[in-house]
Chain A
Amino acid sequence: MFKPVLSIIKMGIKEGVAYRPQMLLTLISFPIFFLTQFFLWTSIFGDSPNTSIAGFDLTQMVGYYIVGLLILVFTYSHITTELHNGIREGHFIKFIIKPISYPFFSFWIIIGGRILAFVMEAIPLLFVVGLMLGFDFFLTPNLTLFLISFVFAFFINYLLSLIMGTLIFWFTNPNGITWIYRLLRYFFAGGILPLTFFPEIIQYIILLTPFPLMYFIPAFLFVGNNVILGIEITPLLLLIYGAIQLIIFSLIAYFLWRRGVKTFQGVGA
């Protein structure tokens, strides 16, 4: 069990190495993103009579977007596109006859890719953030909570990407639906603004979806906040909240995968 997993992780790293220039481009785009957020929020806070907006001070607000972007880099999963292309072009068929399942294989490939991304993208980015916001920024008071939420973010993102990938079993071209999913993820995960900017009723509704765990909750915790809607986020509460989501989406992914593979006919192989 351990040996095949290690081999797949190595494959994932090798696959990532082929896209080195792509990863290096992050080193240009990330500082632009960082500086835009920094100037924008400095200007907005400078104009505001309050030192806190929606529960965030200036450093927390800039930090929220930076940590959010790093979470996206770490939890990135290309399984939806890979599966769509694999089935459209027919080379998915090789997984039907292999003694290894595609979700298992792709999971470890992603882990391999993320290990490489950590070295090539995240370490330089963390260094840039440290230089600009000060290295104290990484001394979060909610480290345990952040790590728990980050693990959930990774798994939930993987499961939802897999679920979106399975749509190709029933639709010839599910790109539009995939874009609607990405949109919901962006809106409800707190990508536009932290969820504390939304009206309370909307916050309650959004917290019932899996999206806040993928961005908002880890970033919110990292910058030192741990109370939302008057509820204190404790490790136990976070574990229960994440576990429920994980079980629900694992079951949905499992069910859709089983049904999808049965439907698959290997056209184009």
Chain B
Amino acid sequence: MKTYLRLLSLKISSRLSYKLDFFTTLISSLLWSLASPLFIILLYQSGASYPDWNFNEILLFIGIYTALFGLGRAFFYNFFFNTGADVRTGYLELTLIKPVDELVLLLGKSFDWESLSEVLAGSLIAIYAFIQLSLSPNIFLFLVYIGLALLFYFSMILLISSLIMKYVQVTRLIEIVERFMDIASHPKNVYPRVVQTGFSIFIPLFIISYYPASALIGFELVYPFTIILTTLIFFMLSLYIWRKSIKNYTGAGG
């Protein structure tokens, strides 16, 4: 943990050496996070809506999604690109011989401070919608789902990072994760039942936003505990594949 925090502080120091870039990236991250709420506002203003979701409920949903997406970007997103870059340059070999877990080093190096503005924007939207709705939520379940959502995001990044170690030049693998995140950016009930079940039981994609939002709103949840178990299994599997990839890694650059 100490190493991780030290890397985080080094990261902010190095980012602040390009102040203009840091602040413009911060502003752009903040504005990017407004894309989904803008979609909702324009959609509802046109008279259309998501089935069974009123405006404030969907705003709460999208606020949680935006905050979680921001957290995922801050903590894990660059992990994939840094792993790919380190494989290409041969720097990964240096990371692997250090007496610290490679996950800690790569995660610390990958932290993206600017994405915290997305977390802020998402949280403010969610808090606003929450106040408007005057709910009595299941906070404990909500927090469990939030933790698992981050774990699932990390699992997806770990999986594609394992692949980039083997296939090196496939940076567009991140697009697959982004497409999956697009699916999670809409409520589960817009999809056919088979998709709903598949992404709740087999690949726990709806843990990203639907489950935490539903725990707050009080919607009846299908498979509320199965999805917890599936997320944990998914994470264990990703970690196993990552460790196996590291073990089999023979170097590509350097």
Contacts and interface: CB of A to CB of B under 8 A. Distances in A.
Interface of A: 18-19, 21-22, 25-26, 28-29, 32-33, 36, 39-40, 43-48, 50, 53-54, 171-177, 179-180, 182-183, 186-187, 192-193, 197-198
Interface string B41-61: 011011111110000000000
A36 B205 CA distance: 13
A48 B39 contact: no
Interface stretch (B147-155, B172-180, B207-215, B234-242): B172-180
Nearest to A28: B176
A40 B186 contact: yes
Contacts of A182: 28
Contacts of A176: 20-28
B28 A180 contact: yes
A44 B49 contact: yes
Nearest to B177: A29
B35 A187 contact: yes
A22 B170 contact: yes
A27 to B, nearest CB: 11
Interface stretch (B93-101, B124-132, B187-195, B243-251): B187-195
Given A39-B191, A176-B26, 14 more contacts: A22-B172, A29-B176, A43-B189, A43-B190, A43-B191, A44-B43, A44-B49, A48-B49, A53-B48, A179-B28, A182-B28, A183-B31, A183-B32, A187-B35
Contacts, number: 114
A251 B186 CA distance: 43
7 contacts: A25-B176, A32-B182, A32-B183, A44-B51, A45-B48, A175-B25, A193-B42
Contacts of A26: 172, 175
Contacts of B78: none
B124 to A, nearest CB: 19
A179 B190 CA distance: 31
B49 A47 contact: yes
Contacts of A193: 39, 42-43
7 tightest Cβ-Cβ pairs between the two chains A and B: A176-B24, A43-B190, A179-B28, A176-B25, A47-B51, A32-B179, A173-B21
A180 B31 contact: yes
Nearest to B186: A40
Contacts of A172: 18, 21
B174 to A, nearest CB: 9
Interface string B117-149: 000000000000000000000000000000000
Interface of B: 18, 20-29, 31-32, 35, 38-39, 42-43, 45-51, 167, 169-173, 175-176, 178-180, 182-183, 186, 189-192, 195
Contacts of A53: 46-48
B43 A21 contact: no
Nearest to B18: A173
B42 A197 contact: yes
A29 B51 contact: no
Contact of B170 (A25, A44, A183, A197): A25
Contacts of A43: 50-51, 189-191
A171 B21 CA distance: 9
Nearest to B32: A183
Contacts of B29: 179
A47 B190 CA distance: 10
Contact of B182 (A33, A175, A183): A33
Given A39-B191, A183-B28, A50 B47 contact: yes
B188 to A, nearest CB: 11
A61 to B, nearest CB: 10
A174 B175 CA distance: 23
